[in-house]
Amino acid sequence: MYSQDNHRTYSRPSRPARETSPSNPKNYDTRRPPEKEMVFGIRAIIEAIDAGKTIDKILLRRDMTSTIGKELLKKLMGTTTPVQKVPVEKLNQYTDKNHQGAIAFLSPIEFSNIENLVPMLFEEGKTPLLMLLDGVTDVRNFGAIARTCACAGADALIIGTHGSVAINGDAVKTSAGALYHLPVCKVDNLQNCLQYLRDSGFNVIAATEHATCDYTEVDMTAPTVIVMGSEDKGIYEANLRICSHQVRIPMSGVIESLNVSVAAGVMLYEAVRQRS
C-alpha cells in the first residue's frame, strides 16, 4: 500500500543500467550537485566545520589513512554528520577537481535537536504533530512530504542520520521552500528517538499495509508522531515494534500501492480533520 518489503511504501520503476567506462569503472548512480553545495578537500571541510557550516554528509576515500583525515574524523566525533567511506571512483563522479579523497555536502537548512524541540512545543501549550521518515531516500518524495507537513501545520519532520535523503537544493525546491520554515530533526538512532517520543506521551502511529486497523480509527488528537516507511524497505521491524499503533489506508483499486508522499498526506490530514 505505502511501504515496500514487509511494509511497502511504493513500487519504484526500474532504471536502465549505467554504462561502464574507464572513467566510470563501476556502476555508481550519482547525480552531480551544483558545486556550491559541496566542499572539496579535507582541510577545506575542517575549515567549513569551524566556520559553523551545516554539513549533510561527508564522503571519504575508503583507503584514506592520512593524519589530516584522522583529524577530520576526530572533529566529527559527537556530531550527527554521517561519514561514508567510498571508493575513489565514487568521489570522482561528483567533481573533476582535486578532491583529495574527501567531499562534504552542505545542507541549506539548520537542523533542530529533537530533545530540545519537544519540551519547547509542550511549553508553548501545543499538542505536537510530528512526521518521522524511516529511510526515505527519494528527494522528490521528501520535498513533497515536507511541503505537506508545513501546509498541515506539523511541528517537525524527523529523519535518520544514516540511510535517509540528502537535504540539498533539490529538496528545498521540491518542498516549495517549506524546508526553510519547518524544523527538521536528524537523529542518530530512530529506535531511541521513537522510544523517547513514546515516553514523552506521544501516540506513535506507524502506517503499514499489514495493519488491521484503519487510519481513521486511531486517536490523533493527542501528541502524535506519524511514521512512514522507506521507498524500498518500508518501516524497519525494530522501529515498528516500538510504535504504539499500526494503521492502514484502505485500498480498493487494482493498484496496490500509494506513493509515500501521498500516503503521508492522507495521514497528516486525518490528524487535521480530527483536531478541527
Sorting pLDDT into bands at 50, 70 and 90, what band is 20? very low
Q: Could you tell me which CATH class the domain 35-106 is placed in?
A: alpha beta
The burial of 195, by beta-carbon neighbours within 10 Å (0-12 exposed, 13-18 middle, 19 or more buried), is given as middle
Sorting pLDDT into bands at 50, 70 and 90, what band is 31? low
Q: Give me the helices (H) in 102-189, please.
A: 114-123, 139-152, 169-174
- How far is the C-alpha of 264 from the C-alpha of 270, rounded, in Å? 10
Mean pLDDT is lowest, of 184-188, 233-237, 240-244, for 233-237
pLDDT tens-digit map of 245-259: 999 999 887 777 789
Quick check: 82 pLDDT over 60?
A: yes
The burial of 22, by beta-carbon neighbours within 10 Å (0-12 exposed, 13-18 middle, 19 or more buried), is given as exposed
Alpha-carbon torsion (79, 84, 85, 89), positive or negative: negative
Strands 7-8 and 3-4: antiparallel
Quick check: 30 pLDDT over 80?
A: no
- pTM to 2 decimals? 0.80
Could you state, in order of their start, the residue ranges of all structural domains in the chain? 35-106, 110-275
Sorting pLDDT into bands at 50, 70 and 90, what band is 16? very low
Quick check: 24 pLDDT over 70?
A: no
The CATH code of the domain at 110-275 is 3.40.1280.10
Query: Max alpha carbon distance in the chain (Å)?
Result: 60
Region 101-121: mean pLDDT is 94
Q: How crowded is residue 173: how many other Cβ atoms within 10 Å of its Cβ?
A: 14
pLDDT tens-digit map of 182-209: 999 999 999 999 999 999 999 999 999 8
Check residue 178 and report its DSSP letter. G
- How far is the C-alpha of 256 from the C-alpha of 56, rounded, in Å? 34
